[in-house]
Amino acid sequence: MKTLLLHCRPGFENEVCAEISDQAARLDVVGYAKAKPNSACAEFICSDEGGAERMMRNLRFSRLIFARQWARGEYLALPETYRIGVLLEQLSAYPVCSSLWLEVLDTNDGKELSTFCRKFEAPLRKALTQAGRLKEGADGPRLLLTFKSGREVFLGIAEADNSAMWPMGIPRLKFPRQAPSRSTLKLEEAWHHFIPREQWDQRLAAGMTAVDLGASPGGWTWQLVNRDIEVMAVDNGPMNEELLESGLVGHYRADGFAFRPKRAVDWMVCDIVEKPAKNAALLETWIGEGLCREAVVNLKLPMKQRYAEVKRLLERIADGLAERGVKASIGCKQLYHDREEVTCHLRRL
Ligand SMILES: C[S@@+](CC[C@H](N)C(=O)[O-])C[C@H]1O[C@@H](n2cnc3c(N)ncnc32)[C@H](O)[C@@H]1O
């Protein structure tokens, strides 16, 4: 298995190529990255047979910024009929898997193929189980079949605890009807990505305090209030009336870059559309000065060299905190609900 397939947001193929090539170089894995524009995926072709596995064993998937899903494996051409037989034959060279996901790419062709995948999944699952290739719940990697068309599939595997949490890395989050803006899902997705579910009750606990910079109309504030967290919502724009009536929200018509809470808070979140360097500096200040314990901040991406720019900003944050002697975990991901942006999460340790 020489190929590592990575899914991404359409238009971000070059960023995935840059990021995975950077990581491969760090790990001394020889190979090259390639991608077609707007294909919503990239491939890293390793020179050595075990290269893709070595990359997956040495990298944490959740730490990759631009990849939504990954799998090591090979492409397989499928006939028009008797696809299952051909798949089974090829899979005899793969380990027995513990779960099965059928995936498509985030393109228009992919959307059309998802109907085919839905119909194909049950008979395939049955055949794999009967052939002993799939033992659900047992040890073994997840089998990830990425269909590029009805005639071509990437037969891949990935460890379930080191790959996307949702098929194709797309979270199935329900838009809460009472939330005042669709951006609300961005913060919810960030929490899913950066905070293990079993820690939510401790790290997003009722009675905590938060500052929401650039809060109007209140989608992010709604998420915090939904967990009974008290929010200082900072924005010159109006806040949703129902949120203000919750008794948990104070509205501050002020500049988010100058605002400082009188006492340190548990959370700072910021969705202000500004130059990424300015938001990154804000993040470093809040965590560095101990104004908050955890933070989620959006970084809008530049037009070019987007991976290089994000990497530079993350290094600058890390260096700034190191100079202050502050220890913090730093995470960054282009979430499904992010467009031309990435989401950063910092936590003081
Ligand atoms: C993308 S919107 C935020 C949406 C919000 N997170 C939600 O979920 O409803 C960006 C907001 O930042 C505000 N903003 C822009 N510059 C700001 C600044 N310097 N200080 C405070 N707010 C600012 C804008 O007024 C706008 O409401």
Question: Side-chain half-sphere of 122: how many Cα atoms within 13 Å?
Answer: 3
As a whole-number percent, the residues of the chain with pLDDT over 90 amount to 97
pLDDT (tens digit per residue) in 259-279? 999 999 999 999 999 999 999
Query: Is 77 touching ligand 1 by the criterion CB < 6 Å?
Result: no
End-to-end alpha-carbon separation of the chain, Å?
Answer: 39
**Would you state the pLDDT for residue 334?**
98
Query: Is 163 touching ligand 1 by the criterion CB < 6 Å?
Result: no
pLDDT (tens digit per residue) in 292-337? 999 999 999 978 899 999 999 999 999 999 999 999 999 999 999 9
Q: What are phi and psi of 277, to 5 degrees?
A: -65, -35
Ligand 1 atom with least separation from CA of 272: 12
Statement: residue 34 has pLDDT above 90? yes
Statement: residue 137 has pLDDT above 90? no
Per the annotation, the verdict on 333 as an active-site residue is: no
pTM given for the model: 0.95
Quick one: which of 332, 307, 306 has its CA closest to 318? 332
Instruction: Tell me the average pLDDT of the chain.
Output: 96
Task: Go through the domains of the chain in sequence order and give each one's CATH number.
Answer: 3-169 (3.30.70.2810), 184-348 (3.40.50.150)
Cα dihedral sign, 122-126-127-133 = positive
Ligand 1 atom with least separation from CA of 187: 8
pLDDT (tens digit per residue) in 139-196? 999 999 999 988 999 999 999 999 999 999 999 999 999 999 999 999 999 999 999 9
**Would you state the pLDDT for residue 19?**
98
Quick one: which of 323, 333, 348 has its CA closest to 298? 333
pLDDT (tens digit per residue) in 46-94? 999 999 999 999 999 999 999 999 999 999 999 988 899 999 999 999 9
